[in-house]
Structure 1
């Protein structure tokens, strides 16, 4: 028996996922599909294809994010293997057959990750948002398609519900699963993860994830990125750029009030801060513009957001650091 857990906000992409599962659900032994409706306010029922009606059950999530919704799903599931799928992926036509093969693993393997394919435009370079989504293909233990043994989830305590976003909560769980003695491996089944349409300001909204990074730093200490096998970020550069900008603004504001040498020093500090901010912002913008399509709209968006992201990222980090001040290294579940 295999249980498939899908946390969802009722997005249109859910229909494509369910249609793909309906086409091959008969290949799975005694399947169970648990849809966790995590919408805070909705009177609409989730539409389930007739071919899945005998296997699917809709559960009500707490509206507290995907980590909490997945906990509702796997704890209600009946099988020894729980397969987590995001509601915006499309399983390949042979997904069910390959899933069965992937789960024929040794007793010490607690989880098997599927492969994620992100289709990108063929006629142009990808945008910043498209490249960010494409990074899912290289991610480790992401729950776009991740199967866990129930025993492994129970040993690790499930997903940590202190992580309210679809960001880091899967890597953090994988770290705890490995820490309690289970192995994780990659399988051969595959899903497609289309790039979700977003407006030009999406890169600003995703900076909220910095608050989750601050919590991870509290829980796992200074080497949290290495321990959780996460790529190096730009936080230190963002701090430097933000500090340079703050110095320039503060010095410029205080200079008219100063006299003599102090006025000169503040003038120099304002110039130095401005140059540092400009250089850091230009480097960041260039790093985002160079691999992209370089259209006028994309370039304009990158210039504006590259100026806004460093202080926004730092603000979210500080907010997360303050909120998690009671946590200490080693207090991860």
Structure 2
């Protein structure tokens, strides 16, 4: 089973954005030397704790400092952009780096109403998402004779497109369009089982290389691995605090780990626990068992791992341990 990394390019407390980007490059280079298949970055706006707002720029930066691993978007929030501009950006990346670029597409805004206004967009643009996806795909496929607009670079690059989602809408669209599907189970797992059923049952082959062998499902999993269960749960406190603060309207940089989680009230604790339920947290034996259980339950074609860890070296070590565990499981 292929396994990959979803990097939210976190900016930890006490670190600058430049240091956060350097940490992402270091992690990508480590993953490039292991068996990780993809390295994806996500579009978020107006968030001081995330450094990947200019997603295609950061993808190019990391692709230029790695040699093997696929690099892509997990994902681009298409309602924020014109399909032509995204086709040109990713067509340019594919022209430079060849067949190493992925394009995952999401319908969420990647920000609030203020962000929409700053982007000169409106929330109702999400209603055009299926049409925008089709238009974008046309710009990356072979050009149509007589087409008034073509993407240069872009046309004929056939950048692989993935559908991202956390609801039945994305599952249905991925199935109808014959696209591979990645579910945001790392923070919104509520509809996971139903969305997966819909995607697999309704999948229609569309002749695209991304899913030429049928439906292709990627499961997103939070993984915090350390030498012991206790250390891993301590590191995991940063992600819990960050998520609780985000849901309380107080987003910020990734907090330092702590054993005092008193600020997370019981209602918030239940919400955080449910949101982060698709996780593997612990020492190697614990993480191996939890990943085995998730794989048995959802039967993914791929895994994509994410993990919000404050210390960059502890984050690299977590992904290193996860790779060892998954390699052993495959063997």
TM-score (norm 1): 0.24
Which one has the largest radius of gyration? 1
